[in-house]
Each structure stands twice: as structure tokens, then as C-alpha cells.
Amino acid sequence: MSAEGLERQTRNYLSNNVPQIQQHGGNFEVRDIDESEGTATVAIGGACSGCGIAPMTMKAIERRLPESVDGLEDVEVVRSGGPRAAVMPSKTDDMEEMDEYEDYSPPF
């Protein structure tokens, strides 16, 4: 599959299966697709950067996206910077270290 096809499928998955990102004031961007490696980098920002469940959302996307999009083997989710970053201070670094988020499986 082409990189454009993988990017389109990735965007469609996020829009259709993780609508909470946009519904709650967040946003996502497919930053990079490496067709030959089967990898994708997705950035989330806006309200996601200050959201208490952002680390869980990030981990769920990293696990579920490769299961749902043929040709993707690995996904990295990062926080957006610049104008797409949140105005709230980010807590995601601290939260990623908390055991509570390790096995959380959100309903999307």
C-alpha cells in the first residue's frame, strides 16, 4: 500500500474510532508515514496536552492502530508543539510514569 493510502487509513481510523480527541477540543495530525517500515507518527495536541487521560489515549492509539490498519506495524504518538499545542501545562510526562495508566483500555 502507498504511504498516501496508509495516511488516509490512519486519519480515518482516528476520526472514526477516537472522536473524543476532536470532540473535547483536541486535535491530531499524521506527521509521518514510512511505508517500507510500516510505521506512523501521530501527534495529538490542543486540549489533549493538558488532559488527564492523554497518556492512556496515546497508548491505546499506539496499540490499536496497527491492529486496525493493514500495513502498519508500529505507531508512535507524540505531543504537538507550536500553535497546535495546548495553552494548559502538560502533565503527560508525569502521567506516563504512573502505573495506573499501564493497562488502561479506553472504550474506543
The letter for the amino acid at 55 is: P
pTM of the full structure: 0.74
Which whole-number Å values give the CA distances from 15 to 1, 12, 28, in the listed order? 20, 5, 9
pLDDT of res. 55: 81
Residue of 53, 52, 54 whose CA lies nearest to 42: 54
- The CATH code belonging to domain 3-79 is 3.30.300.130
Which whole-number Å values give the CA distances from 51 to 2, 31, 70, 75, 104, in the listed order? 34, 21, 30, 21, 15
- What are the tens digits of pLDDT across the range 37-89? 999 999 988 877 667 777 888 888 999 999 999 999 999 998 887 666 654 44
Residue with cell 496499540: 63
Write down the domain spans for the chain: 3-79
